[in-house]
């Protein structure tokens, strides 16, 4: 297991050390990078515009009882009239007291997560634009290419649209269940963790959030450290388009956004991760100024001994953390 002495989990299979030589003490000291001067104006304008969009949610029952849940297909309209599809879970019995937006990793998702412990909640599982159920012609659903879609245009880079998909998910769930306004949470892993940090910086309709191995933290480090996954694709593009790429990515830095997050946040950050460099993950956690909790994973994006036990412990923590909703 990785520990504060930087032992690693079979790092030799990667050709680089997925701890990047950082001890836990050093990870907890990583600060966010320098930010562009108009970061706030850029995102506030996008958020206010997103609030004017009518999501027009539509649901269709597809299973009456699966593991205690009614399963619905859901669709709603995001910004730029983009059709977002996914799933909605409602408890078969009992009163719905709260709601959750649950994001997904860059691999997309093929079904909802039925194991979550929130049995009194409406759970919305949107697929971000261009991915899984929300695939569209002209946008690659392969992470390697999706992450590069319009990366040369700060106003059009697809990550911004994915952030807006979260905001419109909140609008859609609030339209369907207005009694849940003020009682909404967010859970995002990997891709959805980074997107979640960017979204939660402005989205006060979400009361609490969880970010698991979040990506897009500290873009200068993300561009520098050897890695697998979508970050490797960005690095290859960056080598040929350095100035413009960094200019755009500075507006899509989850650690910079995390400095603006006001609601309580629970983070699960890994000390060893070959796809999302741990210093970037911890940069996001460290930047959150208010109430926050940290669960330290032995590894991320990697199967390891003791993983199931850690995931069980994490779910128990999340059950407690979201209880105030």
pLDDT per residue as tens digits for the range 226-275: 999 999 999 999 999 999 999 999 999 999 999 999 999 999 999 999 99
Residue 156 has pLDDT above 70, yes or no: yes
36, pLDDT greater than 50? yes
Kindly report, residue by residue over 64-119, the tens digit of the pLDDT. Answer: 999 999 999 999 999 999 999 999 999 999 999 999 999 999 999 999 999 999 99
- How far is residue 223 from each of residues 33, 127, 248, measured CA to CA in Å? 12, 26, 13
For 111-143, how does the pLDDT look when each residue is reduced to its tens digit (9 = 90+)? 999 999 999 999 999 999 999 999 999 999 999
Q: Can you tell me the distance from the alpha carbon of 241 to that of 238, in angstroms, rounded to the nearest whole number?
A: 5
Q: Is the pLDDT of residue 3 over 80?
A: no
Across residues 8-16, what is the average pLDDT? 73
pLDDT value for 111? 97
Of the candidates 285, 232, 277, the one whose C-alpha atom is nearest the C-alpha of residue 20 is 277
Read off the pLDDT band of 13 (50, 70, 90). Answer: confident
- Beta strand ranges found along the chain (DSSP E): 58-66, 69-77, 83-91, 98-102, 121-126, 184-189, 208-212, 265-270, 292-297
Per-residue pLDDT at 199 exceeds 50: yes
Percent of the chain with pLDDT over 70: 96
Q: Which fold has domain 19-318?
A: Rossmann fold (3.40.50)
Q: For residues 157 and 59, what is the distance between their CA atoms, to the nearest angstrom? A: 29
Query: What is the band of 9 on the pLDDT scale with cuts at 50, 70, 90?
Result: low
What is this structure's pTM?
0.96
How do the domains of the chain map onto residue ranges?
19-318
Dist CA 10 CA 115 (whole Å):
30
Once rounded to an integer, what is the mean pLDDT over residues 314-320? 98
DSSP one-letter code for 250:
G
- Rounded distance between C-alpha atoms, residue 300 and residue 215, angstroms: 11
């Amino acid at each position: 297991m990785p520990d504060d002495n930087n032992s690693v989990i079979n790092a030799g299979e990667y050709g680089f050390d997925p701890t990047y030589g950082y001890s836990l003490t050093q990870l907890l000291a990583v600060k966010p990078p320098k930010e562009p001067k108009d970061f706030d104006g850029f995102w506030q304008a996008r958020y206010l515009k997103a609030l004017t969009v009518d999501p027009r949610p539509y649901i269709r029952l597809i299973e009456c009882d699966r593991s205690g849940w009614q399963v619905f297909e859901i669709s709603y309209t995001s910004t730029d009239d983009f059709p977002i599809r996914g799933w909605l879970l409602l408890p078969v019995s009992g009163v719905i007291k709260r709601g959750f937006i649950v994001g997904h990793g860059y691999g997309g998702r093929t079904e909802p997560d039925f194991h979550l412990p929130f049995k009194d909640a409406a759970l919305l599982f949107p697929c971000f634009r261009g991915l899984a159920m929300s695939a569209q012609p002209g946008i690659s659903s392969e992470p390697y290419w999706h992450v590069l879609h319009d990366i040369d245009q700060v106003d059009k880079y697809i990550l911004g649209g994915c952030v807006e998909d979260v905001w419109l998910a909140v609008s859609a769930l609030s339209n369907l269940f207005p009694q849940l306004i003020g009682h909404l949470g967010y859970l995002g892993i990997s891709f959805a963790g980074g997107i979640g940090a960017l979204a939660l910086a402005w989205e006060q309709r979400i009361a609490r959030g969880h970010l698991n191995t979040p990506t897009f933290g500290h873009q200068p480090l993300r561009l520098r450290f050897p890695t697998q996954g979508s970050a490797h694709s960005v690095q290859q593009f960056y080598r040929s388009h350095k100035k413009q790429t960094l200019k755009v990515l500075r507006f899509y830095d989850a650690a910079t956004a995390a400095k603006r997050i006001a609601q309580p946040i629970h983070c699960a950050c890994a000390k060893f991760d070959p796809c999302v460099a741990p210093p970037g993950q911890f940069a996001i956690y460290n930047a959150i100024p208010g109430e926050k909790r940290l669960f330290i994973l032995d590894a991320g994006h990697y199967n390891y001994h003791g993983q199931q036990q850690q995931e069980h412990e994490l779910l128990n923590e999340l059950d407690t953390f979201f209880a105030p909703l």
